[in-house]
Structures are given as structure tokens and as C-alpha cells.
Amino acid sequence: MKTVTKAVCVVVFMCYCVAVFMCYYGVRKSIEGRASPGGGDYESFWGAVDVRDASGLSHGDFKRDYMNAGKPVVIRGDTGALALTAALTLETLLSMCGEMSPDLGNRLVRVLRHGIPPQLRRDIDERLMHTDGVTLEHVISEMRGRGKTRTMRDFFESSFFGTVKTAQDPRFPEAVKDWSHPGDYVWPPSIHSWRVKQCEALAKHVHTSLSRHAISYLFALIEDDPRQFTKDPRGIYDTFMFASGDKCRAYHPHIHGKPNHTVLLILQGRKRIVTWPADQADKLYPVLKNQLGANDIGEKNEIYMADGFNVDLKRQPDLQDVIGGLEGEAGPGDLLYIPCGTVHTLENAGDMIAIGWLPTQEKGESGSRIAQCPNANAFTY
């Protein structure tokens, strides 16, 4: 009897050890094998942005699950988005608008010149010299079109449309830029919020594609005149182009100063995103809260220094307490929806070109408008 009891105990103990090992091994493999939202080989600190196939996402679902819930989403397989991606290559863009001004940094010039305190200007100037060997005045001159980059073709053929050297990248051991300073986001310049309608040939090209193959999710965003996307091409309001180099972060983490939705169609490269609910903003290392000046369209964007892509809790411990952060990645042909009122930060994987729509809640301005910010982030306005 004692022998049997002893044998049973040995078997139970062995089973226990196997169970513990399998549990540990399973958890370990789960952690080691967890992919980034965009399919990379790192473990994301945040939750994953939903990726939805257009064939299974109705307008009603889109409004309920994302617009009204204040959640970002990557939409794949939309026929209108795929058609426009195929129609709008870099070669096509340059053939139509290559000699036009790229209007570099048009959302930053006014703020850099008149919207920040003198001490911060000096700090940014010092940081730029340390990281990139340029002065703030040089940056502003380039952004105003008074530097070497005078045309769209100049931009796409320059080093600006190339890999940004950062301290997190082992390929550049001498790099200093690490996104820990407001000045790190100022250089190199990028094409940001470039109005498509200023290039008539491009506006007609976009209009033709959308007339044949509508991106129907755009209609869900517009309250006043959803037909604008298939009307006169010169009336394509709030349609913008964005372009910047590999690893570039063209703007600080921020909340838009006016309530609007953002939809980006990625044409080339990949765009990574991290979003946070607006009620978490105080934990995201705000800079000059309520003190920054307005940009060129009268918008005051609150900016933050939280590094959502390389979370370092020793440097930024408050991020441990942030709730609701989501990370994702969109590639060519994908639609990336950024909800109204969210704090968001963007980074490129590869040299990136996108076209986007930003319907805005604003009275008395021609263009597309939303009736309201429909999610819980509306309190910021």
C-alpha cells in the first residue's frame, strides 16, 4: 500500500512539474512571439489598433465602433482606396505637380516664429545644432521655401525624403536625435497638409478616380455635403497630401486644435500610429499647455513629448499609468482612420506618401464639415 501511495505521489508531482513547465513555456513563447500591430518583431507596449476588411465593415459598424467610440482603425481592401493608390504613383504626382512648391512645414512656421517663448526657441536652436548641425533660422528658411528645396521634385529627390537618423537605430551609432526634445520633430522638413486643390491636374486626377470608385467611408464622415467627393475637382476641400522619409515623425504627438476626423490613404511606405484618449493627456508629458500660438489656419494644437513607439518607463514613468493606448500600422492601399479629439503620434516605416481627408467642424468656412465630434474626446473642444 505504501509503495502504491508513493508511486501515486511521484506521478502527481511529475504532472505538476510538467504543468508548471508547460505554463511557463507557453507564456514565454506567447510573449516572445507576440508581433507588433504591423507585423514587426517587437512587443508593443499598447493594445492593437483594429484591422478590418472593407468587405465586412458596414457604414453603420464604422460609425458605431470607431467614429462614435473614438477608436482608430485600419481598413483594408476598400475598392476605392485600392484604385486611387494604383492611380496616384510618385511618377504621376511629379508629372502633374513636380514644379510646384512643396510648402514644407506649413503647419509649423508660424508657431516656430511667433508661437513659442524665447527660451524654448533658444533651446530648440541649441538642440538642432547638436542633432543635425542646423539652426532654427535655417529650418524656418527651408520651410518657407527660401532654401534649396523649391519644388516638389526637389523634395522627393533630396535627403529629406530618406531615412531619418535616430539614436534608436543601430545603423547610426553617432546619431543623437531620440525624440526626447521638442526640437527633434522640427527637422528634417516634410510635406504636411499640402492642399491637393492647388494643383489642378492632381485634383482632377483624384476626382476622376473617386468618381469611378468612391471611398465610401468618407461619406460617413461628412454631414453637410457628401457629394463633394464626386463634384467639381476644384471643390475637393480638405484633401491633403503628406510625404516624409523613413523613420520620420513629422509632428509632435498632439491633439488637433479644431474638431475633425482624419482619414489617411497610404500610397507608399508604411505609417505607424499610437493613439490615446484625450482624458489621458496629462500623463503624456505636455509641452507649454495652453501656451502655444496658433498655426497658419488659426489652430492651436496641444503637443506632448510621450514617446509612444519606444516606451522607456525610466525616462517617462507616467506612461505606465496611461489607459487606452492603441498602436497599429497601415501600408499601401490601407485607410487609416484617426478619431476626432484623440492624442496621436505617427512614424514612418519606409519613405511614405499619403493622401488624406480632414473634415472639420467649423462654421462659415467653405469645405466639408462635421456636425460635431461624436465621441467621448469632444470635451477637449
3-state secondary structure 316-358: CHHHHHCCCCEEEEECCCCEEEECCCCEEEEEEEEEEEEEEEC
376 and 293, same structural domain?
yes
Range of the domain at 19: 1-33
314 and 271, same structural domain?
yes
Q: Which residue is it, cell 457629394?
A: 227
DSSP assignment, residue 65? Answer: I
Q: Which residue is it, cell 522619409?
A: 245
Look at residue 56 in the predicted model and tell me its pLDDT.
Answer: 97
User: For residues 116 and 347, what is the distance between their CA atoms, to the nearest angstrom?
Assistant: 24
In a domain, 84, yes or no: yes
Look at residue 10 in the predicted model and tell me its pLDDT.
Answer: 43
Cis amide linkage into residue 188, ω under 30° from 0: yes
Rounded mean pLDDT, 14-34? 37
Look at residue 225 in the predicted model and tell me its pLDDT.
Answer: 52
50 and 28, same structural domain?
no
In a domain, 358, yes or no: yes
Strand 73-76 to 335-338 pairing: antiparallel
Query: Mind listing the pLDDT tens digit for each residue in 294-345?
Result: 555 455 668 899 999 999 999 999 999 999 999 999 999 999 999 999 999 9
Query: Is the distance from CB of 342 to CB of 377 less than 8 angstroms?
Result: yes
How many domains is the chain built from? 2
Question: Which range, of 10-24, 60-74, 190-204, 248-262, averages the lowest pLDDT?
Answer: 10-24
Residue 213 pLDDT exceeds 80: yes
Angle 348-144-142 from CA coordinates, rounded to 5°: 60
Residue 256 has phi, psi (to 5 degrees) of -65, 140
In a domain, 119, yes or no: no
Domain harbouring 202, CATH code:
2.60.120.650
Which H or E element spans position 268? strand 262-276
Record the cell numbers describing residue 203, joined without a space. Answer: 485634383
326 and 229, same structural domain?
yes
Query: Is the distance from CB of 271 to CB of 201 less than 8 angstroms?
Result: no
87 and 6, same structural domain?
no
In a domain, 111, yes or no: no
26 and 167, same structural domain?
no
Query: Mind listing the pLDDT tens digit for each residue in 281-293?
Result: 999 999 876 655 5
DSSP states of 88-100: --HHHHHHHHTTS
Count of residues in the chain: 381
In a domain, 279, yes or no: yes
Residue 19 pLDDT exceeds 70: no
In a domain, 208, yes or no: yes
DSSP assignment, residue 260? Answer: B
Look at residue 291 in the predicted model and tell me its pLDDT.
Answer: 55
366 and 306, same structural domain?
yes
In a domain, 332, yes or no: yes
Look at residue 125 in the predicted model and tell me its pLDDT.
Answer: 96
9 and 78, same structural domain?
no
Query: Mind listing the pLDDT tens digit for each residue in 73-128?
Result: 999 999 999 999 999 999 999 999 999 999 897 667 878 888 788 999 999 999 99
Helix axes 136-143, 118-131, angle to 10 degrees: 90
282 and 213, same structural domain?
yes
155 and 301, same structural domain?
yes
User: For residues 95 and 204, what is the distance between their CA atoms, to the nearest angstrom?
Assistant: 14
In a domain, 139, yes or no: no
352 and 302, same structural domain?
yes
364 and 229, same structural domain?
yes
Task: Report the Cα 260 to chain-centroid distance in Å.
Answer: 14
Look at residue 218 in the predicted model and tell me its pLDDT.
Answer: 85
How many other CB atoms are found less than 10 A from the CB of residue 151?
16
Residue 38 pLDDT exceeds 90: no
Q: Please state, in angstroms and as integers, the Cα–Cα distance from residue 98 to each residue in 87, 92, 102, 196, following that order.
A: 16, 9, 9, 13
DSSP states of 167-218: TT-TT-TT----S-SGGGGTSS--EEEEEGGGSHHHHHHHHHHHHHS--THH
Query: Is the distance from CB of 351 to CB of 161 less than 8 angstroms?
Result: yes
